[in-house]
Amino acid sequence: MSRKNQTLGEFIIENQKSFKYTSGELSRLINSIRLAAKVVNHEVNKAGLVDIIGAAGDTNIQGEDQQKLDVYANDKFIQTLKNRNIVCGIASEEEDNFISINSRDENHQNKYIVLIDPLDGSSNIDVNVSVGTIFSVYRRVTPVGTPVTLEDFLQKGSQQVAAGYVVYGTSTMLVYTTGDGVNGFTLNPAIGTFYLSHPNMEFPENGNIYSVNEGNYIHFPQGVKNYIKYCQMEEGDRPYTSRYIGSLVSDFHRNMIKGGIYMYPKSSKDSNGKLRLLYECNPMAFLAEQANGKASDGFNRIMDIEPTELHQRVPFICGSKNMVEKAEEFMRNA
């Protein structure tokens, strides 16, 4: 059940019954992400003041070292999840290895693991363009009571129990799914509360926006080149509009609302593209499917890919269902 003006806190409590597992742990986990998102939002919003309050690497007026924002976001999300004693393991784009968390009576009793990209698109910060946080949640597969292992993190996207993102944009929003549709909450910064502003979000089946870094065009596979030419062709509802922010969360968010396709294909420079399967593509794929959209590597469903490494990269095509299927058709026929 959802109603407008509901706060995220109320929504979590009222929807806990619909979770597959109802111990309350997942609710507490989403609550922790909500809290960390607010803290990071506060810092991201001050990014433009860097010349006034000091840049990364400087020492601030209290004698504290200033951190780069992506490191800051990483620390805040990890700290919040650790302190609240909710997860047994965390993996992050910012950390080479996963972190095993041994808490609650030193007995490894927690069941959830989280994979996170704490500040995606961080090259956009210097120019005041939106950035985001992406997260993905699984239940561990190794026995409770033992330390987590790599196996807990290398699960297929289809095993996710929750996923979402925070977009630090003109408004800050938290958008997430627990496998029962996608809901979006907007932060009222004056009082620090997220409100349900976008209930039951869905990709339109068709769209007219394509988002891809066309600077890499000559390096793309022929199928992608052909699809881009198709988008630009004068025919029916085409040419489509090209919009590329260079911040996956923001490009995805816009396409979900307006209808569109995002692509980061492989290229002759990067044989698997750029984006990471576990904490960028899988969570966005889960959201896309829950919002009536589709996510693919060009040939296969993203959430069916069997992961082999923590920081694995994968080509990514995601968005309105009919557009993704059309792109796949071009890939197959190239």
- Residues near Mg ion (CB under 5 A) are 117, 120
Q: Residue 246 touches which of Mg ion, ligand AHM, none (CB < 5 to 8 A by kind)?
A: ligand AHM
Residues 255-314 that bind ligand AHM (CB under 6 A): 274
Q: Tell me how crowded residue 264 is: count the other CB atoms within 10 A of its CB.
A: 24
Residues 104-163 that bind ligand AHM (CB under 6 A): 117, 120-122
In angstroms, give the least distance from the CB of 246 to ligand AHM. Answer: 4
Distance CA 293, CA 280 (A): 16
By CB under 6 A, residue 69 contacts ligand AHM: no
Helix axes 321-333, 222-232, angle to 10 degrees: 130
Collapse the DSSP code of 178 into the 3-class scheme (helix H, G, I; strand E, B; otherwise coil) and give the result.
coil
Contacts of 142 (CB under 8 A, 6+ apart): 148, 149, 151, 152
Q: Of 50-58, 219-227, 246-254, 324-332, which segment contacts ligand AHM by CB under 6 A?
A: 246-254
Q: Residue 247 touches which of Mg ion, ligand AHM, none (CB < 5 to 8 A by kind)?
A: ligand AHM
- 120/297 with CB nearer ligand AHM: 120
- 69/331 with CB nearer ligand AHM: 69
In angstroms, give the least distance from the CB of 96 to ligand AHM. Answer: 15
Binding to ligand AHM by CB under 6 A, coded x per residue (else -) over 190-229, reads: -----------------------x----------------
Collapse the DSSP code of 301 into the 3-class scheme (helix H, G, I; strand E, B; otherwise coil) and give the result.
strand
CA atoms within 13 A of residue 328's CA, in its CB half-sphere: 19
Contacts of 285 (CB under 8 A, 6+ apart): 157, 295, 301, 302, 303, 318
Phi and psi dihedrals of 185, rounded to 5? Answer: -125, 130
In angstroms, give the least distance from the CB of 120 to Mg ion. Answer: 4
Q: Of 46-54, 178-186, 202-210, 243-251, which segment contacts ligand AHM by CB under 6 A?
A: 243-251
Structure-token match 């619909």, residue found: 18
Q: Residue 152 touches which of ligand AHM, Mg ion, none (CB < 5 to 8 A by kind)?
A: none
Which of 26, 86, 163, 248 binds ligand AHM (CB under 6 A)? It is: 248
Q: Residue 27 touches which of ligand AHM, Mg ion, none (CB < 5 to 8 A by kind)?
A: none
- 213/226 with CB nearer ligand AHM: 213
Q: How many residues at the interface with ligand AHM, by CB under 6 A?
A: 10
Identify residue 54 by its one-letter amino acid code: G
Contacts of 106 (CB under 8 A, 6+ apart): none
Tell me the residue ranges of DSSP E strands in the chain: 87-92, 99-100, 112-120, 131-139, 162-168, 172-177, 182-188, 193-198, 209-211, 241-242, 260-264, 293-296, 316-320
Tell me the residue ranges of DSSP E strands in 121-268: 131-139, 162-168, 172-177, 182-188, 193-198, 209-211, 241-242, 260-264
- 130/183 with CB nearer ligand AHM: 130
- 110/297 with CB nearer ligand AHM: 297
In angstroms, give the least distance from the CB of 104 to Mg ion. Answer: 31
Binding region for ligand AHM (CB under 6 A): 93, 117, 120-122, 213, 246-248, 274
